[in-house]
Structure 1
Amino acid sequence: MQDKMPLRRVFHKGAISAIFLAASLLSSGYSWALTPEKLEITAEQEKTTAEIVRSLHEYHYRDQTLNDELSERFLQNYLKNLDPGKSYLLKSDVDRFMKHKSKFDDDFKEGELTTAVEIYSTFLQRFIARSETTIALLEDEQYQFDFEAEESLLVDRDQANWPADAAAADELWRKRIKADMLNLKLAGKEITEAREVLVKRYSNQMRRISQQTGEDAFNSVINAFTMLYDPHTNYFSPRTLENFNINMSLSLEGIGAMLQSEDEYTKVVRLIPAGPADKQGQLKPADRIVAVGQDAAGEMVDVIGWRLDEVVDLIRGKKDSIVRLEILPAKAAAGSSTHTIKIKRDKVKLEEQAAQSEVFELSDESGKSYKVGVIDIPTFYMDFEAYRKRDPNYRSTTRDVFKLLSDLAAKDVDGVVIDLRNNGGGSLHEATSLTDLFIDQGPVVQIRQTNQLISRNYRSHSKAMYRGPIVVLINRLSASASEIFAGAIQDYGRGIIVGSQSFGKGSVQSLQPLKYGQLKVTESKFYRVSGDSTQHRGVLPDIELPTLIDPELVGESSYEYALPWDSIHAVKHDRYFDINSALPQIIQDHGKRTKTDPDFVFLTEELKVVDKMANRDRISLREKTRLAEKVEFEEQLLALENTRRKAKGLELYKTYEDISGPATDDEVDPEQQALDAGPDKIDPEKDPFLKEAGYILLDFIKASGSQDSPKVANF
């Protein structure tokens, strides 16, 4: 039953007056004490707009006409960026804006920004008026939140309508505020404290919005336009360009995470291998950062609705200092409970990103033992400074893997697993030269430019250094250079690709100077020797493993305007193994193992439970219902974990808290944790995916009859 309690039973007289006054002011566009600064657009920005239109037409890979259709798509994207939750603007606002839907193409060609900036100004006014209404309600101690009423909040608002009028907006916001209060209450805060947290959140947001300038409006308009070409094409003002350059540097002192803005949140895109966050282990891709605190006990600053560069400034800090992050987990619906983690800031060290190897033994069904070599490659790196100085001992992925392969050959391994999980790419040259260690002369990747010319200059020039069977392990965070290597290995029939669909980043960007700032523009695409693009689709594994990362949240296909997958002509290339003939039996044997393997059974069932909880489009606003859902969720995960532990002969957990470990706020010492952390040790007993990749390698060895073939070429 919906909570239809009469207003007189919920609001006292003063609150009713405030709400209705706010509604009338909101619908008229009036804002209260704070008003946004006047948005001044300069002649230089107008000229830059026209210049960007010309640059996109001339340099961007996607050939699309700037016409009325694109103009309407711009307006829709612009409004989505401004108000992703459809909670500030009214339907009447949007209807008024839509009257201009066909004029932005002509406006931008001429550098005309008046209408687009007026929309931005209207949004600022609505935001401030709504914030003041919300703060007034939260500060009214006589207003009581009814957490007994069985009602819900729609959290997936992609398909929702804009509020029909001020009354509909008020009802939406009543539920939003109630959801925020309930989340804080469930996290252990008293009602008074929760009110203070939210008042501070909305006050900070309102203060920041009121300080928006013409440059903020210009950046918002232009990037809503450039995104229509693809998500990696962005405009950088002089200020944002400085932040971009800082973030591209591995010497950045921080937590080692790539972040992006999504809706009102700052979202984790990926973790830099061997960086502080990666080593600490609790921050995950697609997690959303709710608040940031400094040191062990500094105030947590709510960052919902903040600009990305402002959030980055809070997270960035001196080496060895502590930053605390309040996280809304990737799988949690908006409005769910959060948790806090601590990370010790540090520099990302090249030596900790270096490839490493290990040898472990596995036995087949007959009891025959095999030696499996593993090479873990966190990134495709090259010490360019040492290379430029002609240092004969400069570090690079290929040089390090060459040595590791030689060491593994000396240990007489029967095959090698190349682990590219979470490898976000790096040097294209290194991806090519690494492939050169495993194939003879031939092309590695094709690149098609904006003018449709195809380059095949990235080639393997030497005979293969290692000729034994290989398995390449990938996941959703294997991107760019990783996809080029994995794609080449698959196309040449050189090895079996195991894991989950890769990221799908198959495009190349360059910076184009402008009169005011710079434009990062996509200028070419990668294609495999088979002719298939790595863009959007990524590399599809020959044998699929359960994915712990939701492809709808992470990966190129999660971007609305990503360039599509396509293909070009294949280029002549060799085939080393008849993998297609061997795969049916290998897949059958893989299925038999994983069907009864405790770790895989647990992962499969855990994903079902987590996905069911995460994919709710509504959340309950009744406290008892939410508590019951939490208990049921934790009991299900505890039962699954204990089923796994029992099958492996491990001691059972008594409570869910035993799984999650000590509370991160007080009991974990992140300083000692960071001091102890080094490159992760390769341990198949703690990594069921790696262990299964080893068994697949054994099946491959037997199917190919390659036990006695030469593993290392003669030099």
Structure 2
Amino acid sequence: MKRFNSLRTTCLVAFFAIGTHAVAEEQPANLDLDSIQPTRDQMVASLNTVELLRRHHYNRIRLDDALSSDIFDGYMRQLDPQRSLFTAEDIQAFEEYRYRLDDLLLAGDLTIGFAMHKRQIERLSQRLEFANSLLDEDLQSLDFSSDQQILADREKAEWVATDIDLLQLWRHQIKDEVLRLKLAGRDMDAIQELLSKRYKGQTLRLTQTRSEDVFQNYINAFAQVYDPHTQYMSPENAENFDINMSLSLEGIGAVLQADEEFTKIVRLVPAGPAAKSQKLAPADRIIAVGQEEKEMVDVVGWRLDEVVKLIRGPKGSNVRLEVIPASNPPTDLSSREVVLVREAVKLEDQAAASSIIKYGSGENEQRIGVIEVPGFYIDFKAQRRGDPEYRSTTRDVRRLLEEMEAENVDGLVLDLRNNGGGSLQEATELTGLFIDRGPTVQVRDTDGQVQVLDDPDAGISYKGPMAVLVNRLSASASEIFAGAMQDYGRALVVGEPTFGKGTVQSIQPLNHGELKLTLAKFYRVSGQSTQNRGVVPDITYPSLLDTTEIGESYLPRALPWDTIEPADYAIGNQVSPFVKRLNERHQLRAANDPEFTYTLARVELDRGIKDREYLPLNEAVRREQQDAFDATLLKLENQRRVARGEEPLKELEETDPLLELNPAVADEDDAEEDPFLAETGQILIDLLELQHQVADAS
């Protein structure tokens, strides 16, 4: 794999317009800051946004001095997330407005927000000018044998005191950039060419900053103090909402978001090109995009909408992505190229699917049915036109359950891993297949009124033992279903704590753009919120993802977990009395399972790398650290391979073993090779045995 390093601490979040102030006063020739002024339409839209949030947002917050301070801090994090553009003097000048932003927003006055952003544009302009001037010099003069080091994460660092200090910080950051590319095996000529193209490209995009970019950033700094899912969308972004959020379903089939200077994959659309490739995973970061056989375009530091436009293209055409795998430790930004064929993702390709895992043989054989539910879908168009064969999650699962009954399965696993949700109606109706009748979820609105959604139909489609398998990317409707199964005692919930998305949003049109705001919260029938904490499994598996950076609890100002009065429901088949003994049996197996032990050891190894506060700018020391990590990783992989009866490796392979374990990219036709799915089936067999023991004793 190629070793790649980014300008880790300097470029702005890709979703936002890129910009800043200068140590010198010279500006790029085409950068006209005077033309960036708020328009009348934007002022009216800001007033409308203020009123909508004050009156209708679920989180009733007063727009006062305290909230003004929060807006100020959020805007600073947005403009300079790694504190590498502004000086302490800049911040002191801004502090005059910390407690005045509320009054200005109430008056529709956007001038201060624009002024702060234009200062940031000036600073970033000078940062890029400095970088380009350094590249024009002889990079060979950079000293990589000193004891210098750089702070790995400057999010909470002190602002640098002076312009001289800022220049020194920028020099260290560029030196770190060059060092990482050297460690990746690139020569100085190649490094100079790559960075020169990147910085000049960022300079060009900076000169194209529009008033609309600045307004969207500023008004979102205000909107997102209410909660992270409340968002203003400009007219252009509102028109292309599906494209911006998920590349539509005609493209590569991946949901993307900005992550500092990178574009990050949030999740893979089931049966889409990205998922089918088995080479991409959630949290992978895209650093370059190529069309067909054309040269790759470096997209580090690009805005999200620009990256999206580059990735999309005609159906049937190829797109090449250079990505940094999520499984890499933070200091190892190795990259690989993935070639995808753009295509539309059809509903039937995403439909629920079934398989059977067999345990034992002969008379002792036990069969566990598996139904994978990629999303909560319904073909509304076919339903509205009266098509009796319209597709939906509940209809498909009901049919698969009938097939499972015919196969005489001993238990059932409903696999909701990486299921990001979908139709609330389908989550309710699917719950109804496994309970007789009763409430399925509660929804509390802005006024505190609680609506209880229920399953009114008597009868159960499947009465046998059951487990629901979830992971960190199981969200929204998945959490509603899993929570209901747990509350009713109907199924074991197994896997990782889920995402924690327990809020409801609505799109409100404005005179200029649209506002997505949170109007309600979901609650389980037990009265617990699914918000923030998600659904906590009865039996927990180690996570394949860095859960500290994925999930609702990671998002700033996420609404809290809380409770309301429980609904009136009857607990059915209780599995809770068996959970402790099931956990004990699982832990004994996991201690000797090569996949579980590898995952736990890998998580610990990666955490040790991530916890490093400083990175050395000494080439020999950095190489020593990388070699030590690779040696440990090779040792872990060989322990795993030997335990599986495979030949050990002499050196690391390009494909990371964690990809093999990730259900988003694993071979869906080989369920028995999925260690977490196989273990879930084994837990169900344990449950059957314990239930039989209780029945015999009684």
TM-score with structure 1 length normalisation?
0.90
2:405 corresponds to? 409
2:464 to 461, 468, 471: 468
**How far, CA to CA, are the matches of 1:660 and 1:482 in structure 2?**
28
**How far, CA to CA, are the matches of 1:53 and 1:333 in structure 2?**
42
1:142–1:400 distance in 2 versus 1, CA, 3 Å: closer
Q: Which amino acid aligns with 2:652?
A: Y
**How far, CA to CA, are the matches of 1:464 and 1:341 in structure 2?**
48
**How far, CA to CA, are the matches of 1:179 and 1:385 in structure 2?**
54
**Can you list the C-alpha shifts for 1:308-353, whole angstroms capped at 9, x where unaligned?**
1111111111222222222233355666433132222222121121
Question: Which deviates more from structure 2 when the two are superposed, residues 509-518 or residues 614-623?
Answer: 614-623
Q: Is structure 2 residue 61 aligned with structure 1 residue 67?
A: no
Work out whether residues 415 and 470 of structure 2, in 8 Å CA contact, stay in contact via their aligned partners in 1.
yes
1:395 to 375, 391, 395: 391
Q: Is structure 2 residue 565 aligned with structure 1 residue 569?
A: yes
1:692 to 648, 668, 679: 679
Unmatched 5+ stretches in structure 1: 1-24, 665-676, 710-715
1:80 to 77, 98, 107: 77
1:518 corresponds to? 514
1:41 to 29, 32, 38: 38
Q: Which amino acid aligns with 2:200?
A: S
Work out whether residues 492 and 538 of structure 2, in 8 Å CA contact, stay in contact via their aligned partners in 1.
yes
2:420 corresponds to? 424
1:513–1:466 distance in 2 versus 1, CA, 3 Å: same
1:295–1:611 distance in 2 versus 1, CA, 3 Å: farther
What secondary structure sits across from 1:509 in the alignment?
strand
1:134 to 125, 131, 140: 131
Work out whether residues 155 and 334 of structure 1, in 8 Å CA contact, stay in contact via their aligned partners in 2.
no
Q: Is structure 2 residue 99 aligned with structure 1 residue 102?
A: yes
2:602 to 600, 603, 606: 606
What secondary structure sits across from 1:204 in the alignment?
helix
**How far, CA to CA, are the matches of 1:689 and 1:113 in structure 2?**
52
1:321–1:149 distance in 2 versus 1, CA, 3 Å: farther
1:498 corresponds to? 494
Work out whether residues 286 and 553 of structure 1, in 8 Å CA contact, stay in contact via their aligned partners in 2.
no
Q: Which amino acid aligns with 2:335?
A: H
**How far, CA to CA, are the matches of 1:574 and 1:409 in structure 2?**
26
1:359–1:333 distance in 2 versus 1, CA, 3 Å: closer
What secondary structure sits across from 2:564 in the alignment?
coil
User: Shift of the alpha carbon at 1:209?
Assistant: 1.3
**How far, CA to CA, are the matches of 1:338 and 1:410 in structure 2?**
49
2:367 corresponds to? 371
**How far, CA to CA, are the matches of 2:618 and 2:560 in structure 1?**
43
**How far, CA to CA, are the matches of 2:570 and 2:247 in structure 1?**
38
**How far, CA to CA, are the matches of 1:208 and 1:649 in structure 2?**
53
User: Shift of the alpha carbon at 1:577?
Assistant: 2.3
Q: Which amino acid aligns with 1:542?
A: D
Q: CA RMSD in A?
A: 2.4
**How far, CA to CA, are the matches of 1:616 and 1:542 in structure 2?**
33
Q: Is structure 2 residue 276 aligned with structure 1 residue 279?
A: yes
Question: Which deviates more from structure 2 when the two are superposed, residues 97-106 or residues 253-262?
Answer: 253-262
Q: Is structure 2 residue 525 aligned with structure 1 residue 538?
A: no
2:586 corresponds to? 590
1:49–1:87 distance in 2 versus 1, CA, 3 Å: same
Q: Is structure 2 residue 174 aligned with structure 1 residue 187?
A: no
**How far, CA to CA, are the matches of 1:597 and 1:657 in structure 2?**
22
User: Shift of the alpha carbon at 1:460?
Assistant: 4.6
**Can you list the C-alpha shifts for 1:598-635, whole angstroms capped at 9, x where unaligned?**
22112211221122223333323222223222222222
Question: Which deviates more from structure 2 when the two are superposed, residues 27-36 or residues 372-381?
Answer: 27-36
Work out whether residues 23 and 126 of structure 2, in 8 Å CA contact, stay in contact via their aligned partners in 1.
no
**How far, CA to CA, are the matches of 2:139 and 2:549 in structure 1?**
41
**Can you list the C-alpha shifts for 1:543-567, whole angstroms capped at 9, x where unaligned?**
0001111121111111011111111
**Can you list the C-alpha shifts for 1:482-535, whole angstroms capped at 9, x where unaligned?**
001000000000010000000011111111111111111110110000000101
1:427-438 maps to which residues of 2 (within 5 A)?
427-438=423-434
**Can you list the C-alpha shifts for 1:132-172, whole angstroms capped at 9, x where unaligned?**
11101111127622222243221211221111111111111
1:171–1:248 distance in 2 versus 1, CA, 3 Å: closer
Q: Which amino acid aligns with 1:270?
A: R
2:623 corresponds to? 627
1:15 corresponds to? none
**How far, CA to CA, are the matches of 1:603 and 1:275 in structure 2?**
26
2:553 corresponds to? 557
1:78–1:247 distance in 2 versus 1, CA, 3 Å: closer
Question: Which deviates more from structure 2 when the two are superposed, residues 340-349 or residues 685-694?
Answer: 340-349
User: Shift of the alpha carbon at 1:211?
Assistant: 1.7
1:660–1:522 distance in 2 versus 1, CA, 3 Å: closer
TM-score with structure 2 length normalisation?
0.92
User: Shift of the alpha carbon at 1:285?
Assistant: 1.8
1:341 corresponds to? 337
1:213–1:45 distance in 2 versus 1, CA, 3 Å: same
What secondary structure sits across from 1:456 in the alignment?
strand
1:271–1:388 distance in 2 versus 1, CA, 3 Å: same
What secondary structure sits across from 1:65 in the alignment?
coil
Q: Is structure 2 residue 437 aligned with structure 1 residue 441?
A: yes
1:183–1:419 distance in 2 versus 1, CA, 3 Å: same
1:694-713 maps to which residues of 2 (within 5 A)?
694-705=681-692
1:162-311 maps to which residues of 2 (within 5 A)?
162-247=159-244, 252-296=249-293, 298-311=294-307
User: Shift of the alpha carbon at 1:54?
Assistant: 0.3
User: Shift of the alpha carbon at 1:225?
Assistant: 0.9
User: Shift of the alpha carbon at 1:186?
Assistant: 2.4
**How far, CA to CA, are the matches of 1:358 and 1:629 in structure 2?**
44
What secondary structure sits across from 1:423 in the alignment?
coil
1:713 corresponds to? none
Work out whether residues 243 and 308 of structure 2, in 8 Å CA contact, stay in contact via their aligned partners in 1.
no
Work out whether residues 242 and 248 of structure 2, in 8 Å CA contact, stay in contact via their aligned partners in 1.
no
Q: Is structure 2 residue 148 aligned with structure 1 residue 151?
A: yes
User: Shift of the alpha carbon at 1:398?
Assistant: 0.7
**How far, CA to CA, are the matches of 1:460 and 1:145 in structure 2?**
72
Question: Which deviates more from structure 2 when the two are superposed, residues 494-503 or residues 242-251?
Answer: 242-251
Q: Which amino acid aligns with 1:418?
A: L
**How far, CA to CA, are the matches of 2:127 and 2:107 in structure 1?**
35
**How far, CA to CA, are the matches of 1:482 and 1:232 in structure 2?**
18
User: Shift of the alpha carbon at 1:259?
Assistant: 1.3
Q: Which amino acid aligns with 1:310?
A: E
Question: Which deviates more from structure 2 when the two are superposed, residues 417-426 or residues 683-692?
Answer: 683-692
**Can you list the C-alpha shifts for 1:402-442, whole angstroms capped at 9, x where unaligned?**
11111111011111011000111111111111111100110
User: Shift of the alpha carbon at 1:28?
Assistant: 6.2
1:247–1:138 distance in 2 versus 1, CA, 3 Å: closer
**How far, CA to CA, are the matches of 1:618 and 1:34 in structure 2?**
38
Work out whether residues 139 and 188 of structure 2, in 8 Å CA contact, stay in contact via their aligned partners in 1.
no
User: Shift of the alpha carbon at 1:706?
Assistant: 10
What secondary structure sits across from 2:142 in the alignment?
coil
2:313 to 309, 313, 317: 317
What secondary structure sits across from 1:445 in the alignment?
strand
User: Shift of the alpha carbon at 1:708?
Assistant: 10
User: Shift of the alpha carbon at 1:40?
Assistant: 1.9
Q: Is structure 2 residue 50 aligned with structure 1 residue 53?
A: yes
1:679–1:634 distance in 2 versus 1, CA, 3 Å: closer
**How far, CA to CA, are the matches of 1:693 and 1:301 in structure 2?**
43
1:300–1:460 distance in 2 versus 1, CA, 3 Å: farther
Unmatched 5+ stretches in structure 2: 1-20
What secondary structure sits across from 1:457 in the alignment?
strand
**Can you list the C-alpha shifts for 1:109-153, whole angstroms capped at 9, x where unaligned?**
111011110001111111111211110111112762222224322
